[in-house]
Amino acid sequence: MRERNEEQPYNDLMGDILKKHREEGGMDNLKGRGKPLSREYFSGDTLQHFQRIAKEAGYKPHWIELQDEIREDVRLLAEYLSAGIVVDMDEHFGDINLKLAKYNRACPRPMQKGPITLATVYQAVERITLQGEQMDQEAENS
């Protein structure tokens, strides 16, 4: 029987990848190499710093992607409603509300949303109509 004191060999996969990349010269011409780090780098906490870098790199958290999908689904339903196109609203509400449940489990608590209803879609129709009118007025004034 094996003793509990024996340690398992440690595999540092990311460390191995970085070491190999460094040995192949991949770290020789990095942007900012040899320059001091900016004050901004040390301000805020680590999470805020990571979020800023991720945003600059074009990364979107899963819950933001879900938010965009839900917004697009509601907009599409609103367009159907305003154009008089008949669709199975219950089926669409079910699909959207499933996405909303996933969204609410992943997003920060203050950003959680309630279920989509017919009233929500009518509000979207009003917003779309108002935005269209504002764009028409801006075009006339230009």
Give the pLDDT confidence of 105-116 residue by residue, as tens digits: 998 898 999 999
Instruction: Determine, yes or no, domain membership for 127.
Output: yes
What integer pLDDT is reported at residue 98 of this predicted model? 96
pTM: 0.57
Instruction: Determine, yes or no, domain membership for 125.
Output: yes
Domain extent, residue 86, equals 62-133
d(CA 54, CA 136): 37
What amino acid is encoded at 86 in this protein?
A: V
Q: Would you state the torsion angle of the CA atoms of residues 31, 34, 39, 41, taken in this order, to the nearest 10 degrees?
A: 50
More confident residue, 135 or 98: 98
Q: How many domains does the chain have?
A: 1
Please state which of the ranges 1-15, 58-72, 116-130 shows the lowest mean pLDDT. 1-15
Question: Residues near 128 by Cβ (< 8 Å), separated by ≥ 6?
Answer: 75, 78, 79, 82
Instruction: Determine, yes or no, domain membership for 89.
Output: yes
Instruction: Determine, yes or no, domain membership for 88.
Output: yes
H helices of 1-142, in order, are 13-23, 39-42, 46-56, 62-83, 89-106, 118-141
What integer pLDDT is reported at residue 42 of this predicted model? 73
What integer pLDDT is reported at residue 99 of this predicted model? 95
**Mean pLDDT in residue range 8-36:** 82
Instruction: Determine, yes or no, domain membership for 6.
Output: no
Q: Count CA atoms closer than 13 A to 104's CA, side-chain side.
A: 11
**pLDDT for 45-103, tens place per residue?**
777 777 788 888 888 888 889 999 999 998 898 888 888 888 888 899 999 999 999 99
Instruction: Determine, yes or no, domain membership for 43.
Output: no
d(CA 13, CA 20): 11
Instruction: Determine, yes or no, domain membership for 53.
Output: no
Local structure of residue 38 (DSSP, 8 states): P
